[in-house]
A = this chain, B = another copy of it.
């Protein structure tokens, strides 16, 4: 982040994220229902970009299994000390996305019933991340081997080539999304919030705080995978953040991935304006 104070005004004072820790160079943020210490870390830097996507594993044993999995695949990995996290594994996956895994974090007070701290969009928790890559099918295979399951996907008619794949571990539509485009680039991180009025109020608050131009698309409804009501923002450095509500639960194994053909079903059922060109083309580089 080029101006961490400006980022703080955006993420904390306007969006309503909680500060778990901060120093002159770093902001550790979490949503109001998160007990984990941080779900978004902002660092002061000259060059803007995304350092790494992080995932939690359930136990330390799972972390060892994952490490062995990467070694077997020939991927260089390193163990690092990351503040407020247990031992942390760094690796870059085969499509070039820098990743980080740990099994536990410092526990913070879950502020879900601290209603006086619910401001802005009342961001509840990190829900998912979307990555652009020309290699969607390869990404799908790689993350499938790691244990992610596909909930929905978009495929080209005729060839069945994957245009986008929505994968999950936690029982709702997606933890990670891969969409076909130049990459790897980070398209957006998404936080869920309680009700649709929070999305509308957030837009009003952004305008009141001078961030009105950060509203890139929405509030609207996704008619493709997930069906969420969304609003996409661009933060002061241009990174994209989605706020949405109302995903569905998907756990059962007999529930097959849903194929989605946007031009036919989409046209019949959608309302509102298409995504702007910036949403379709611009994204954050991994640094």
Contact = CB atoms under 8 A, between A and B. Distances in A.
A127 to B, nearest CB: 9
A255 B115 CA distance: 21
Nearest to A200: B196
A203 B171 contact: no
B116 A209 contact: yes
Interface in A216-231: 219, 221, 223, 227, 229
Nearest to A205: B115
A214 B272 CA distance: 9
A203 B258 CA distance: 24
A9 interface: no
Interface residues of A, number: 62
B255 A107 contact: yes
Contact of A107 (B113, B215, B254, B272): B254
Contact of A223 (B33, B110, B113): B113
B254 A33 contact: no
A253 B104 contact: yes
Contacts of A223: 113, 207
B112 A248 contact: yes
Contacts of A213: 271
A68 to B, nearest CB: 20
A227 B56 contact: no
A256 B200 contact: no
A170 interface: yes
A164 interface: no
A205 B252 CA distance: 29
A74 interface: no
8 contacts: A35-B250, A107-B256, A115-B201, A115-B208, A116-B208, A171-B171, A194-B195, A204-B271
Interface of A: 33, 35-36, 56, 58-59, 103-105, 107, 110, 112-116, 124-125, 170-171, 194-197, 200-201, 203-210, 212-215, 219, 221, 223, 227, 229, 245-246, 248-256, 258, 268-273, 276
